[in-house]
Structure formats: structure tokens, C-alpha cells
Amino acid sequence: MTPDLSIVVPLFNEEENVRPLFEAIAAALRPLPLSAELVLVDDGSSDATFARALELPRGGRPRLRILKLRRNYGQTAAMAAGIAHARGRVIVTMDGDLQNDPADIPRLLAKLEEGFDLVVGWRRERKDHWSRVLPSKIANRLIGWVTGVPIRDNGCSLKAYRADLIKAIPLYAEMHRFIPAMASLAGARIAELEVRHHPRRFGRSKYGFSRIYKVLVDLLAIATILDFARRPVPWLAGAGLLAALCATLAGALFLFARPAPGVAFQGVVMLSGALAAFLLFLAFLSYLLHSTRAARFDRFRLLAARASREPGAAAERFAP
């Protein structure tokens, strides 16, 4: 039987939070007329998280599905595992540290039913130390600027998706930050919704400052992927042609300028020519990759047609 809603929560060393989390979610779901399952993913915790999760009442509402990963894989992988094993038609993801408030779930669902495919939580008033908030603000600006999807809070885990949308988006490494960008590529309709944010009650935060560099590098990678999925060839070919242009201009300068430029300058001309050739060959390589895996890129591209829905198609089901 397919539940209407799956709530996916990755847990890493959250033994004190498991039960309060379950109770808060159960309370938030009580007034909703829909069947729900809760997918808890124990991401290789070293404390009693899994044991606490097993103690939770099973068979009630929400129905429980507990996954135990073999080791600690990180938040994205844990979330991906949870999403892969979630059976609901709508999937809500949230953090396991109780900083997100499950009471926001009905609002997210209502928003989704207005015709959106993805509703992103926005923690307007973050209850974290500035050393966590500041890098995250910079990262969000960068992500919005590069991907062209100006989401104010990419790092917020509280999100609601159509299951077929999120299941078609490849999630690996730390990609969860870029889900809105990926989804927008697939033509999804994205909404932002302000959500509550609580200070941490138990346990410690698992983030650090080194994230800025990682986000920066990941961002460059994701921008390439997004562009590549849209148009496989131009990116590298464009760079190659640019280098070829440089070489040609420099070459012309070399031929016609008097007195003739020195030996080192000639070297520079040859180098940019070599770079142009290299990039063009890489462009062919990427084209080869695209053709051998066309199915993957297509699935992602064609999602656009499937993902967007008319507003209110199933609104009555989820109306709070």
C-alpha cells in the first residue's frame, strides 16, 4: 500500500532526539487526513540512536520504517537512502536534531498542493551561532547567483517534494544543498516557505567552517553539470574556441607587429593554441560521455514534462 506521505529523517548520533522527534511528528500529523510513514535513517551512529529508534511504537501513525546504514556516510547519502526506501507519493525531509519544527509540515503540504513540485523551507530567524550562519549566507548567495535559482536557504533540510521528482534527481556526495537548482533544471515549480527554527536542545552541531571552500568547488561542478545536461557540447567547446581565438589574435599580432615580439611571446601563442586543442578534444570526450549515458541525462531532462502539475489537481487531499 502506498502511503500519501513519507517523512525522511537522517539521524547521526541523535539518541536524545529520537523520541521527542517522533512525538512531535506524530502530533503534527494527527489532524491530517492522510496515511503517513516515517523513514528514520541511522547514518552509522556510534551512540544508541538505532536502539532508541527500535523502541519507538510501531504499527501506529505514522508507520515506521527504520534504516540502518553500515557506516557513517554523511547527510546526503543518508537522505538519499531514506528517499530511495520511502514509498509515499509526497516526501518530506527534515533534520533529526529538532531544529526544524514538524508542526510546519502541514503548511509545506498545503503549499505543495497549490501546484508546486518542491517546497523549500526558509529559516528566516536562524537560531545558530554566527560562525554557522555567516558561511551559510555566503554559500546561499553564491548558489543562487551561479545556478540562477535564488533560494534563500539551500541548507534547510525541511523540504517537501513530489516523490517522482526527488527520486529522479541523483543524490550523492553533498548534493542535497543543490536539490532546488537541480529540480529547477528539470522544470519543477519551486516555492519557498518560511519555517520555524529552534536552537539545538541536545547533541552537538556537525558542521564546520571548511564548508565554504567545499560549496565553492561543488558549485563550479554543479554549474557545469547543469549546463551540460541542458546542452552537452558548448561548454568546453566554447572555452576551447576562446583559447583558439586568443591564439589566432596573438599569432596575427606576431605576424604583423613590427618590431616582431620576442621568443617568449611566441611561446605564449603556442601554449594557448595547445590549450585550445586540448579543450576541444575534451569537449569530444564529454560528448562521448553524454551519448553513452544519454538515458541518464534524458531521464533528468524529460522530467520537466512529468513534474509540473496544474494547481489544485489533488488539493483537497492535503488541505490542512
Partner 1 sequence: MTAEPAPRRLAAATGTVSVVVPLSRDLEDLEARHARLRAGLELLARPLEFVYVLDGPLARSRAALAALRRAGEPIEILAFARPTGEAAALTVGLRHARGAVVLTLDPEFPIDPAELPRLVHRLEAGEADLVTAARRVPGRAGGGKLERLLGWLLGCRFEDVRSPVRALRARVAAELTLYGNQHRFLPLLAQAQGFAVEELPVPALGRNGPGLVRAVGWPSLLLDVVTVFFLLRFLEKPFRFFGGFGLLVLVLGGLATAWLVFERLVLGVPLGDRPALILATLMVVLGIQIIAVGLIGELVTFAWARESADHRVERIVE
Instruction: List residues binding partner 1 (CB under 8 A).
Output: 44, 53-54, 58, 63-71, 73, 77-78, 80-81, 85, 170-174, 214, 217-218, 220-221, 224-225, 228, 236, 239, 243, 261-265, 267-268, 271-272, 274-275, 278-279, 282, 285-286, 289-290, 292-293, 296-297
CB nearer to partner 1: pick between 196 and 207? 207
Question: Is the Cα torsion angle 153, 96, 31, 125 positive or negative in sign?
Answer: negative
Distance, CA of 39 to CA of 88 (rounded, Å): 10
Cα-Cα end-to-end distance for the chain: 23
Contact by Cβ (8 Å): 113, 100: no
Least Å distance, CB 29 to partner 1, is 18
Of 103 and 217, CB closest to partner 1: 217
Quote the least distance from Cβ 259 to partner 1, whole Å.
9
Minimum CB distance to partner 1, residue 226 (Å)? 10
SS3 154: coil
Least distance (Å) between residue 43 CB and partner 1: 9
Q: State the Cα–Cα distance between residues 238 and 244, nearest whole angstrom.
A: 10
User: How far, CA to CA in Å, does 192 sit from each of 108, 111, 152, 188, 320?
Assistant: 9, 9, 8, 13, 18
CB 44 within 8 A of CB 69: yes
Question: Which CB, 28 or 269, lies closer to partner 1?
Answer: 269
H or E segment at 279? Answer: helix 263-292
Q: Which is nearer to partner 1, 203 or 273 (CB)?
A: 273
Nearest distance from residue 156's CB to partner 1, in Å?
A: 22
For residues 18, 19, 20, 26, the Cα torsion angle rounded to the nearest 10 degrees is: 110
The answer to whether 8 and 36 have CB atoms below 8 angstroms apart is no
Distance of CA 25 to the CA centre of its chain: 23
The distance of closest approach from Cβ of residue 191 to partner 1 in the complex, given in angstroms and rounded to an integer, is 26
Residue among 103 and 220 whose Cβ is closer to partner 1:
220
Based on CB atoms, which residue is closest to partner 1, 85 or 137?
85
- Closest distance between partner 1 and the C-beta of residue 132, in Å? 21
Distance of CA 115 to the CA centre of its chain: 20
Q: Which is nearer to partner 1, 110 or 282 (CB)?
A: 282
